[in-house]
Structure 1
Amino acid sequence: MAFIEFIQPSWPVNKSVFCVSTTTSGGVSTSAFKSLNLGSHVGDDPHNVELNRQRLASELKRFVPDVKPLSWLNQTHNTNVLRLSAPTDAGKVEADAAFTNMPNLPCSVMTADCMALMIANTDGTEVAAVHAGWKGLLNGVIENTVKQFSSRRSEIHVWFAPSICQQHFEVGEDLKTLFSKFPSALKASTVKNKTLLNLIEVANLKLDELSVYQRYYSNICTYSSVNLFSHRRSTHQGISTCGRMANLILIK
């Protein structure tokens, strides 16, 4: 049986904060979902998804013995932030970010190219997970999440989990226009009428406006990494779907 692999941040927050991103390794799914697909909405065998989620839960207990069940959000590229005080039933809450100040309660979001921002205060008493695709990013999911924190902005730290990098995120004229107020995030593509969009740069500009300056980066591109799920890479390979990774953070 393959082991579940974690990608973790290196950041100066209290050691009580546990934060990881999963990879494709360690699950039971096959074909386009091989192997640790954690998304129940992408066409995978529901039984395999449940087994994968159980495997992840068991692995988390090795690091956090009292960890509570994950709350799997119904992510719809909105700007809703769920304030978690107890685990929620999978898919019952429509939100693209979660915040908590309760111990052993994971905040998690799923991705397969979109940005995931993991946020914690210095003391490790407040944490949040944000799913920021282009739509949620543009409409304010980061701003709405930062507002949940009672800590001073100078005490808020943000880690950028693996996501698609600019060189592989080609967009059309419609998105170029929508992001025109972020010119530093736009770069001409070699393809006519196409633009390369830098989602991380947009997030950085928004965090600047929020006076949240302590940021840390995985510097891992999902498209370029064969051990990570990438919806765009799958599409370019003629595959209509792919699995989802989990990005989670909690207070031990």
Structure 2
Amino acid sequence: MSSERYLWADWPAPDGVKALVTSRNGGVSEAGFSSFNLGLYSGDDQESVRANRQLLQQDLDLTSSPLWLKQVHGIDVADTDVDGQEAEADASVSRKPGLACAVLTADCLPVLFCNQEGTVVAAAHAGWKGLVAGVLEATVRSMNVPADTIIAWFGPAISQHHFEIGPEVREQFLAEDMNCSEAFIPGKGDRWFADLYSLARRRLNRLGVSHVYGGEFCSYDQSDLFYSYRRDGKESGRMASLIWLEA
């Protein structure tokens, strides 16, 4: 397995739970997509992306392809046991060993979940639209275990000092949680800078999920490791964050 391709989650998950995020390195994509792009509809050559996905599956010794989603910034949660490839959802849950949940990101926040018993795992794609709509809440509900037994890990997302938003975005968060104002710092004029990590952590804590790890990355700053749509525009590839129960 190529170590340059993967960053393993650093969290106290139980034995048998495997979780990682891919880097942008060690694949076959070229030009701005160099090189381990896993986003099939990112504008990259699709054969290159399929080759990268095959490398991923071989490296991780998965019994089948991860459940790749058609992500739409919503709150639907797919089930690896019943949903086929390209399910329109922004999260997935798995209870069957060898069936991996996967989400693609390039600035949005990937959140991986497991329970302390190691019987269920989940992955969520949480950009600001998904966060405010409730994708994390929907994912936790889909796991169907007590919230205080859930462990979460934050993969790489855009950091606050690069994530500029308009006042209408901030107002949507404040409408649901007036105390989340600490997750925003003023920019120029009416603009603000939002902290996706802080907003996600608050929402999980409100659900009763207090065991939350990760959050030390910046997809925008760490260009040697990660793709960033805000930094690279249309030639941005996608990282994958995956979690599965070991077969």
State yes or no: 1:184 paired with 2:182. yes
Task: Give the CA deviation at 1:43.
Answer: 0.8
Give the match for residue 147 of structure 1: 141
Structure 1 residues 4 and 68, CA, compared in 2 at 3 Å: closer, same or farther? farther
Contact 2:5 2:36 survives alignment (8 Å): no
Alignment of 1:81-96 (within 5 A): 81-85=77-81, 88-89=84-85, 91=86, 93-96=87-90
Provide the rounded CA distance (Å) in 1 between the counterparts of 2:89 and 2:144: 20
More helix by share: 2
Deviations 1:79-124 (A, max 9, x none): 00012216722x2x10000001111100000000000000000121
- The runs of 4+ residues in structure 1 deviating greater than 4 Å are none
TM-score, normalised via structure 1 length: 0.91
Q: Structure 2 unaligned segments of length 5 or more: list them.
A: none
State yes or no: 1:165 paired with 2:163. no
Provide the rounded CA distance (Å) in 2 between the counterparts of 1:23 and 1:232: 17
Alignment of 1:8-47 (within 5 A): 8-47=8-47
Deviations 1:23-71 (A, max 9, x none): 001111111111011111111111111111111111111xxxx532111
State yes or no: 1:201 paired with 2:220. no
TM-score, normalised via structure 2 length: 0.93
Q: Which amino acid aligns with 2:184?
A: L
State yes or no: 1:214 paired with 2:211. yes
- Give the paired residue count: 241
Contact 1:20 1:247 survives alignment (8 Å): yes
State yes or no: 1:251 paired with 2:245. yes
Alignment of 1:111-150 (within 5 A): 111-150=105-144
- Residue 112 of structure 2: SS of its match in structure 1? strand
Task: Give the CA deviation at 1:7.
Answer: 1.1
Alignment of 1:222-241 (within 5 A): 222-226=219-223, 227-235=225-233, 240-241=234-235
Q: Structure 1 unaligned segments of length 5 or more: list them.
A: none
The percentage of aligned residue pairs carrying the same residue is 36
- Residue 142 of structure 2: SS of its match in structure 1? coil
Equivalent of residue 69 in structure 2, options 48, 73, 79:
73
Provide the rounded CA distance (Å) in 2 between the counterparts of 1:154 and 1:39: 33
Instruction: Output the aligned Cα RMSD.
Output: 1.6
Task: Give the CA deviation at 1:241.
Answer: 3.1
Deviations 1:172-216 (A, max 9, x none): 122122223321111112x22210001111111111210110010
- Residue 207 of structure 1: SS of its match in structure 2? helix
